[in-house]
């Protein structure tokens, strides 16, 4: 579906109108395109087919320059997704511009076109050029999806910090998931940060002025803050996992020492029973039976006192 922004709303359009107005300051939005639609769009914009079709999953957020257009590519993270992880449930958001016309490409569930349309004529952005306005609102929407997970992981990490060791089994699984997800988010954020920085670079031909670049600087600062927060969350989860694993190891050592001490103590009666029942020099079997019991109890007491003083009989 192709729509064009006219008279304060998105109206139905087509590829022919897009081509005919490619030298005008207009915004065209392409939503839920098929492979065939993308091939036609690539031909109309005179950009490589691979810029729209191919192994997009191998790409990170970036800026590409072509003879007639500059492409801004970013990943949108589904904040309502049910995928196994955040990277398995994301979709590309693409914007092409020649400094005049801007063509955005996305999926309908991203809500990109609605997000841009809601703010396109806001007094805050009316002083911006068509190019700066669409691309800024696009990346603002994308960055919001990242910030959602940044805040979510940070809150989960803070909650897990309040839990005293040892964790229950489920907490370890949750901690490993948070660390893995934070690591994935961190990789995506770093590339988005580089993208925001590249948009203010004089080598990136977007046709934006210095005032508009300051707006993109804001995106860079936000992405930088998101990176730093996620790094802290990732390090926190690593430290927490390490601390609780050390606690488990320490508790296991205490348990093993207790078992060893009890095994030695309990084994004393069997040892003396074996000795007094063996044929050794002198006939020990003639001794009074209770002498064996007294020696066993005394030995067990002395061993128990020894292990108690060494701290082997306590799990605390």
125 contacts 147 by C-beta, under 8 angstroms: no
Residue 65 belongs to what domain range? 2-246
CA neighbor of 235 nearest in space, from 179, 171, 186: 179
Per the structure block, which two tokens stand in for 227? 């990176």
Number of domains making up the chain: 2
For 281-312, the pLDDT digits (tens) are 444 445 556 666 777 777 777 777 776 777 76
Same-domain pairing of 304 and 232? no
The predicted-structure confidence for 233-277, as pLDDT tens digits, reads as follows 888 888 777 765 555 555 556 667 667 767 777 776 776 666 665
* Mean per-residue pLDDT of the chain: 80
Same domain, 206 and 86: yes
Asked whether the bond before 166 is cis by omega within 30 degrees of 0, the reply is yes
Looking up residue 186, the CATH number of its domain turns out to be 3.30.460.20
The span from the CA of 220 to the CA of 218, in Å, is 5
Indicate whether 229 and 257 sit together in one domain. Answer: no
**pTM metric for this prediction:** 0.74
Q: Apex CA 296: angle with CA 292 and CA 298, to 5°?
A: 120
The tens digit of pLDDT for each residue in 165-210 reads 666 667 777 888 888 888 889 999 999 999 988 887 755 566 677 7
Q: Give the CA distances from residue 236 to residues 175, 176, 287, in Å, rounded to whole numbers and listed in that order.
A: 10, 12, 67
- Do 299 and 166 lie in one domain? The reply is no
Pinpoint the alpha helices (H) of the chain. 15-20, 35-45, 112-119, 130-161, 169-198, 210-276, 289-309
**Could you give the CA distance from residue 285 to residue 15 in angstroms, rounded to a whole number?**
108
Residue 100 in tokens? 């005049």
List beta partners, residue 103: 28, 96
For the record, the structure tokens of 91 come out as: 């979709």
Do 264 and 119 fall into the same domain?
no
Residue 105 exposed, middle or buried by CB count within 10 Å (0-12, 13-18, 19+): buried
- Give the position of tokens 């098929």: 34
Q: Which residues pair with 200 in a beta bridge?
A: none
Q: Which residues is 71 bridged to in the sheet? A: 64, 96
Q: How far is CA 268 from the centre of its chain?
A: 56
């Amino acid at each position: 579906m192709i729509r064009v922004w006219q008279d304060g709303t998105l109206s139905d359009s087509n590829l022919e109108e897009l081509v005919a107005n490619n030298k005008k300051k207009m915004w065209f939005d392409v939503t839920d395109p098929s492979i065939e639609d993308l091939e036609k769009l690539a031909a109309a914009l005179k950009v490589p087919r691979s810029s729209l079709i191919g192994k997009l999953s191998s790409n990170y957020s970036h800026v590409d320059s072509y003879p007639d257009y500059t492409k801004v590519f970013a990943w949108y993270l589904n904040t309502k997704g049910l995928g196994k992880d955040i990277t398995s449930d994301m979709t590309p958001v693409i914007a092409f511009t020649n400094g005049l016309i801007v063509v955005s490409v996305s999926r309908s569930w991203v809500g990109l076109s609605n997000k841009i349309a809601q703010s396109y004529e806001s007094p805050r952005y009316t002083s911006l050029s068509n190019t700066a306005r669409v691309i800024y609102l696009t990346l603002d929407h994308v960055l919001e999806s990242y910030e959602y997970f940044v805040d979510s992981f940070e809150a989960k990490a803070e909650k897990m910090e309040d839990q005293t060791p040892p964790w229950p089994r489920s907490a370890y699984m949750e901690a490993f998931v948070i660390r893995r997800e934070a690591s994935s988010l961190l990789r995506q954020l770093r590339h988005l940060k580089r993208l925001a920085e590249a948009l203010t670079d004089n080598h990136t031909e977007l046709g934006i002025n210095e005032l508009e670049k300051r707006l993109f600087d804001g995106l860079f600062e936000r992405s930088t803050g998101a990176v730093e927060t996620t790094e802290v969350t990732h390090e926190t989860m690593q430290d927490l996992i390490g601390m609780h694993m050390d606690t488990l190891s320490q508790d296991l050592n205490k348990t093993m020492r207790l078992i060893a001490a009890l095994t030695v103590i309990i084994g004393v009666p069997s040892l003396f029973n074996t000795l007094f029942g063996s044929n050794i020099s002198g006939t020990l079997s003639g001794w009074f039976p209770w002498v064996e019991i007294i020696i066993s109890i005394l030995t067990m007491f002395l061993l128990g006192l020894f292990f108690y003083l060494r701290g082997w009989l306590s799990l605390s």
